[in-house]
Amino acid sequence: MASTFHDFANGADLAAALADEVANGLSAAIAEKGSASIAVSGGSTPKRFFEALSGKELDWAKVTVTLVDERFVPADSTRSNHLLVATHLLKDKAAAATFIPLYHEAASIDAAAEIATRETSSIGKPFDVAILGMGGDGHTASFFPRGNHLAKALDLSTPPGVMTMAAEGAGEERLTFTFSALSDARLLVLHIEGQEKKDVLSKAEAGADETDMPIRAVLNRAASPLKIYWAP
């Protein structure tokens, strides 16, 4: 599916525009079917976007928020995406939203993935909105280069759900939605900032090896058109 590139003068302009588009998408879903779902990414890039989105006027009580991926760390860890979203998104008007975490205290990360798959099974078929990020190594979600379960995670025949991932560049073990769970989001966005990320994206667009740069799977095989939001 083709992608479109939207560039902005700075991160603040990007955050405002993306918040507008996402709020419109969520509102349209609520009007159509009475509820809306959004999966968001962590890292430092989306903070301004989260802040902008949190103040949008929409029926947040009908919105369910979850994470594209998560480190296998407790919710109060400074390394958790849960804490990032709780601090910057689930406040102001968005405090009324329902949040479904991916991390669950369990005997193993595999057990936690099973719980997360079950807990999220009622949303995201497809997600109304999915916001992806990208690392300097070309990973997106927790699809890391040479990750131990990368092939399964990127295989669109793998059932939608949450699975585990470990990779040399990932730090902690991860929980991540499968590509099949994200690929068909009604609004599918890649949010990146900085010249380095733009250069990585250009490299990914020029090649085909998903093992080396997993973002290529999204660029080349996503079921929904990908909207790329970039600012320097």
Written as one string, the DSSP assignment of 89-130 is TSSGGGGGSEEE-S----SSHHHHHHHHHHHTTTS-TT-SEE
Question: What is the pLDDT, as a whole number, of residue 47?
Answer: 97
Question: What is the pLDDT, as a whole number, of residue 113?
Answer: 98
In the chain, domain spans: 3-231
Question: What is the pLDDT, as a whole number, of residue 169?
Answer: 84
Residues in the chain, pLDDT under 50: none
CATH fold, domain 3-231, is Rossmann fold (3.40.50)
What is the tens place of the pLDDT at every residue in 97-106? 999 999 999 9
Task: Name the amino acid, one letter, at 7.
Answer: D
Query: Whats the size of the chain, residue-wise?
Result: 232
Question: What is the pLDDT, as a whole number, of residue 186?
Answer: 98
Model pTM above 0.75 = yes
Question: What is the pLDDT, as a whole number, of residue 208?
Answer: 75
- Per the CB < 8 A criterion, the answer to whether 228 and 188 are in contact is no
- Per the CB < 8 A criterion, the answer to whether 21 and 56 are in contact is no
* Interatomic CA distance for residues 231 and 8, integer angstroms: 5
Question: What is the pLDDT, as a whole number, of residue 1?
Answer: 66
* Interatomic CA distance for residues 121 and 113, integer angstroms: 12
